[in-house]
Structure 1
Amino acid sequence: MTVKLRKATAADLSFARELTRVNMREYYAEYARVWQGQSFDDEWEARQSFIINKADKPVGFLSFSLEPHYLYLRDVQLCEPYRGEGIGGWVMGQITSMAYALGARSIRLKVFKSNPAVQLYRRQGYEVVGQEKALFWMERILEGSAVCRE
């Protein structure tokens, strides 16, 4: 598999926004939420974002922020035709490597309860540590790091 990450730039914002909007519209409708494209744009610069390329073609993106003691995974989005190829698992491995390199003790994320990605996250060692009406809060404690939940 020829998959690579590259640091996202301002020129990638429209790709990332539209991919997220398309991928999440079903969940937003299911849980009666409203997509806030301007909020996505406003947060773009504050996050560390990467484009997922397969054979030099953008097929997705990921973004995260580094919080005290943990990496908060904000988005992992793949274009629909590239799902089921193992790219998601590969991306999660890359995120884990980044979290270790940045000194994080854990990785946290939120995911819609009906999203099939919940199963991927569980296979990757994430556990549900909280929930709200539409979302699971999941966390993976990184081996060799002190357990610290806030």
Structure 2
Amino acid sequence: MALQLTPASDHDLDFARNLTRQAMLPYYREYDLLWVEQAFDQAWGWREQWLVTQGDTVLGFCSLSQDRQALFIRELHLLPAHRGRGVGAWVLETLAQWSRQRQLGFLRLMVFRRNPARGLYQRHGFVEMGEDECFVRMQRVIDQ
């Protein structure tokens, strides 16, 4: 059955928040950052929210925003059972297509420095544009 990005609704907020917290809390602790659920909930209202699905099964979710130049991946999280199976790669390629369709020149994201997903992003054409003590900024040029 084919993978899809399905619009998320407010009913999916708890799932998305819990999945994000579960995936990111170890990094927040490592870098002595404070996880603020209210900040996640506020961003839910102004970002594009998508569930990663296969049939009726929810595999994860992603959160997007955009400006005049780029589509930004704000969150991309998969349930542990669906990691390492090509789902993340499919999402990245789908979002690159969306960037092209929206006539945006870049697909951008930030990732914790020690997050192994950096390798996935690099394999899919993202290059590192800068970093600070916690995060690496990455982007992929989208050919029009």
Deviations 1:31-72 (A, max 9, x none): 111111100000111111100112311110011101121111
Q: 2:100·2:143 contact (CA, 8 Å) conserved in 1?
A: no
RMSD: 1.0
Unaligned runs of 5+ in 1: 145-150
Letter of the structure 2 residue corresponding to residue 68 of structure 1: R
- Which portions of structure 1, spanning 4 or more consecutive aligned residues, are displaced by more than 4 angstroms? none
Q: Give distance in 1, aligned partners of 2:2 and 2:71.
A: 26
3-state secondary structure, aligned to 1:104: coil
Identity of aligned residues (%): 35
- So what's the TM-score if we normalise by structure 2? 0.96
Return the offset for 1:77: 0.4
Is structure 2 residue 103 aligned with structure 1 residue 103?
yes
Return the offset for 1:78: 0.3
With 36-45 and 50-59 compared, the bigger mean Cα shift is at: 50-59
Q: Give distance in 2, aligned partners of 1:11 and 1:102.
A: 27
How many residues in Structure 1 have an aligned counterpart in Structure 2?
144
- So what's the TM-score if we normalise by structure 1? 0.92
Unaligned runs of 5+ in 2: none
Q: Give distance in 2, aligned partners of 1:84 and 1:70.
A: 26
Aligned positions of 1:71-90 closer than 5 A: 71-90=71-90
Q: 2:73·2:108 contact (CA, 8 Å) conserved in 1?
A: yes
Deviations 1:94-134 (A, max 9, x none): 11111111111101110001111000000000000011101
3-state secondary structure, aligned to 1:45: helix
